């Protein structure tokens, strides 16, 4: 853009000299350099913090599916990359061992309840002790609690979708044995309930960015198009500013100025929901400062949108 503006000035200067409107003296000879410095210092450098631009990335929350119980998988009705609703069945674990445990506990509970009734009857007639009644009741209550846990285990043999979304990279098949270890997920579930679009803004340009400011974004997924939106929030931490609990002293290291991440939301929610996770692009944020540069930033962003037709990276 700066080259275009400078060339426009050169054409105008040529016409002024050609038609003898101005004399081509030393001032007009060096004027292109003056104009170039004016554009750099007065417009294009301030534009970076008045209307910062940065790479954008579409991400979605991924849930590692780990069953709550271990066992053999008997059914996997879900298909990869197929939209699912919250509560849809992902896979089923063989319920026979869990049903057998539940039946055994319920049988023991019936016997325990009978023992409570008998000890109570003996205690009321003076032939039994209160301790025996309390002990029998405690055993019955314990079995009741174990039955609740057994029912929960039985219910968890059917693993369901935690939210709206889809399963990707599906490799689970009937006959596989799964465990409840947290380090052994069996599926990757992509939650599509919320689309997260993050824009990386250099720290030097992020000083005036605030929630609610207008945004324009273009994506490789849809070249040639620009989508309006709003700044949703500015993430208050990046990895380089994170500390973790440890028993070690501070280890000095090289400090890198990592960009800050601004979360935006597009006005076209339907298009945002349709974009695959990992979609990349560019976005510009229009602050309340250096408004004269906003038009130039919009033009530059549309140039990027058009170049997306031919630039694959």
In a shared domain, residues 96 and 187: yes
8 vs 20: CA distance, rounded Å:
18
Find out whether 68 and 180 touch, Cβ atoms under 8 Å: yes
In a domain, residue 183? The reply is yes
- DSSP string of 218-258? EETTEEEEEEEEEEEEE-S--GGG-----SSPP-------P
Whether 186 and 82 map to the same domain: the answer is yes
Contacts of 71 (CB under 8 A, 6+ apart): 93, 94, 97, 98, 157, 177, 178
What percent of the chain lies above the pLDDT cut of 70? 88
Say whether both 236 and 301 belong to one domain: yes
- Summarize pLDDT for 258-296 with one digit per residue, the tens: 899 999 999 999 999 889 889 999 999 999 998 888 988
Query: Which of the four pLDDT bands, split at 50, 70 and 90, describes residue 115?
Result: confident
Say what the pLDDT of residue 245 is. 73
**Residue 83 three-state SS:** coil
Residues 128, 176: one domain?
yes
> 169 in a domain, yes or no?
yes
Please state whether beta strands 62-65 and 187-191 pair in parallel, antiparallel, or not at all (unpaired).
antiparallel
Q: Is residue 202 located within the same domain as residue 55?
A: yes
Number of structural domains (the chain) is 3
Residue 164 shares a structural domain with residue 208: no
One domain, residues 163 and 126: yes
CATH code: domain of residue 153:
2.40.50.100
Strands 260-266 and 71-75: unpaired
Is the pLDDT at 145 greater than 80? The verdict is: yes
**pLDDT reported for residue 41:** 60
84 lies in the same domain as 146: yes
Q: What is the pLDDT of residue 79?
A: 93
> 42 and 83 in one domain?
no
CA distances for 151 relative to 98, 105, 139, 193, 281, angstroms: 8, 10, 18, 30, 49
Statement to judge: residues 34 and 128 lie in one domain: no
Mind listing the pLDDT tens digit for each residue in 78-105? 999 899 999 999 999 999 999 999 999 9
Q: Is 67 in the same domain as 13?
A: no
Q: In the β-sheet with 89-93, what is the strand arrangement from edge to edge?
A: 158-160, 89-93, 71-75, 177-178
- Overall average pLDDT of the 64-76 stretch: 94
Per-residue pLDDT band at 25 (split at 50, 70, 90): confident
Longest distance between any two alpha carbons in the chain, whole Å: 130
> Of 84-93, 159-168, 214-223, 233-242, which gets the smallest average pLDDT?
233-242
**Is residue 72 in a domain?**
yes
Average pLDDT, the chain: 86
- Whole domain around residue 100: which residue ranges? 62-191
């Amino acid at each position: 853009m700066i080259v275009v503006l400078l060339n426009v000035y050169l054409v105008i200067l040529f016409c002024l000299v050609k038609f003898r409107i101005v004399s081509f003296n030393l001032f007009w000879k060096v004027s292109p350099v003056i104009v170039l410095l004016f554009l750099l210092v007065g417009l294009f450098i301030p534009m970076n913090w008045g209307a910062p631009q940065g790479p954008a990335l579409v991400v979605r929350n991924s849930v590692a599916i780990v069953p709550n119980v271990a066992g053999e998988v008997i059914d996997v009705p879900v298909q990869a990359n197929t939209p699912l609703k919250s509560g849809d069945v992902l896979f089923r674990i063989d319920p026979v061992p869990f049903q057998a445990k539940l039946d055994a506990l319920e049988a023991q509970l019936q016997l325990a309840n009978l023992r409570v009734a008998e000890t109570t009857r003996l205690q009321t007639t003076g032939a039994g002790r209160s301790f025996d009644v309390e002990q029998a009741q405690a055993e019955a209550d314990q079995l009741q609690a174990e039955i609740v846990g057994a029912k929960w285990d039985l219910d968890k043999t059917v693993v369901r979708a935690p939210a709206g979304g889809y399963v990707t990279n599906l490799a689970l098949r009937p006959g596989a044995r799964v465990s409840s270890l947290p380090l052994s997920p069996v599926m990757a579930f992509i939650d599509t309930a919320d689309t997260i679009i993050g824009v990386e803004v250099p720290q030097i340009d992020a000083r005036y960015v605030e929630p609610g400011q207008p945004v324009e974004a273009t994506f490789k997924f849809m070249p040639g198009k620009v989508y309006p939106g709003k700044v949703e929030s500015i993430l208050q931490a990046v990895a380089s500013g994170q500390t973790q609990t440890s028993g070690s002293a501070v280890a000095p290291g090289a400090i890198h100025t990592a960009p800050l991440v601004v979360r935006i939301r597009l006005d076209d929610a339907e298009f945002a929901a349709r974009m695959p996770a990992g979609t990349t692009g560019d976005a510009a944020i229009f602050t309340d400062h250096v408004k004269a540069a906003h038009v130039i930033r919009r033009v530059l962003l549309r140039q990027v949108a058009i170049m997306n037709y031919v630039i694959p990276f």
